[in-house]
Each structure stands twice: as C-alpha cells, then as structure tokens.
Amino acid sequence: MKILTILLTFTIILSFIVACQNQAAMSELEGFRAQRAIEEQNKAVVLKWLNEVNRENFEQLFDELWTKECQQYLNSNPKPYEYDQFRQMIKNLYLEFPVITHEVQNIYARGDKVIALFSARVKHDVDSFGVPATGREIKWKAIAVFQVSEGKIKTRWEVSDLLGMYEQLGMKLQMKDVKK
C-alpha cells in the first residue's frame, strides 16, 4: 500500500510538471506564431509598395504605406531623405522613367525588418537624365532593408546599381582632372 501511495504521488507530481512544461511550450509557440504573423504583414506592406507603385498611384500609395516621419537612406545620397524629399524624388524619377516595373527575387522578414532583393525595369522611351530616348529596356538590381512599424514603412536603406543603370543609358564614368 505504501508503494502504491508513493507511485500515485509521483505520478501526480510528474503529471503536474509535464502539464506546466506543456503550457510554457504552448505559450512560447503562440508567441512565435504571433511574431510570424507580424512579419508576414510587414512583408505584405513592402510587397504592396514594390509590386503596385506606379506613376499614377505613387502619391496615394506613399501616403498609405509610409509614415510621415520616414527616412530613406540611399547609396546615392550621403544624407537620408525625409518624407517630402523622398516623395519629390519619386515624382522626379517617374518624370525620367514613366513606367517602372519591380520584380522581387527574394524577400525575408525578421522582427520589424523586411529585406527585399529586387530588380527595376524601364523602357527608355523618353529623354532621361539628359540622355535622348533610346527605346532600350534598362534593368538594374537593388537590395533594400525596410523597417515597418504599425503597418507602415518607417525607414528604408537601399543600395541600387545606379552605375549599371547609367551605363545602360550610354553614360560613361570618367575620372576628374586631378590637380597635383
């Protein structure tokens, strides 16, 4: 009888320990699932921007998907662009290239950051950056890290192959005359 009591007590204690561990594991699993859902929502915001932005809707989409405090860090500019500056830069870009198509090759999310590797493609059918229209297709790659907060893009760091784009336009990189 004494052994039966000990076994019963041990079984109850073991069941309690397993149940507590299972609750902790389930709670942790729910946390992972919630984080994964947020990361998927963040990816959807970035994909919407890259896949849907165009000359006609960029202002409306910009207002919808970017915070007013957003900052844009581009490899072509030493200082970040703020909301109005970046909006104007996009407007100017659509004057140079009326139709820009993005193709996302890879996209990853971790926490509040989304990393996208994508290419941009344009038809050079209007004068762009002082270069007469050639009718050629111009394509360049970029990688960007987006920080998303409450469903809107807060910060973007982007590195684009602008030199490759300029070369496809027919521009050449030349050394400046250096005075000794």
pLDDT one-digit tens code per residue, 87-111 = 998 888 888 888 899 999 999 999 9
Q: Tell me the pLDDT of the chain averaged across its residues.
A: 87
What is the per-residue pLDDT across 59-75, written as a single tens digit (0 to 9) for each? 999 999 999 999 999 98
Q: How confident is the model at residue 30, as a pLDDT?
A: 82
Nearest to 93 by CA among 69, 65, 62, 117: 62
- Cα dihedral value 89, 90, 91, 95, nearest 10: 100
Low-confidence ranges of the chain (pLDDT < 70): 4, 7-8, 10, 12-22, 24-25, 180
CB 143 within 8 A of CB 167: no
Q: How confident is the model at residue 3, as a pLDDT?
A: 76
What CATH number should be reported for the domain whose range is 2-169?
3.10.450.50
How does DSSP assign the chain, residue by residue?
Answer: -HHHHHHHHHHHHHHHHHHHHHHHHHHHHHHHHHHHHHHHHHHHHHHHHHHH--TTTHHHHHHHHEEEEEEEEETT-SS-EEHHHHHHHHHHHHHH-S-EEEEEEEEEEETTEEEEEEEEEEE--S-BTTB-----EEEEEEEEEEEEETTEEEEEEEEE-HHHHHHHHT----PPPPP-
pTM of the model: 0.81
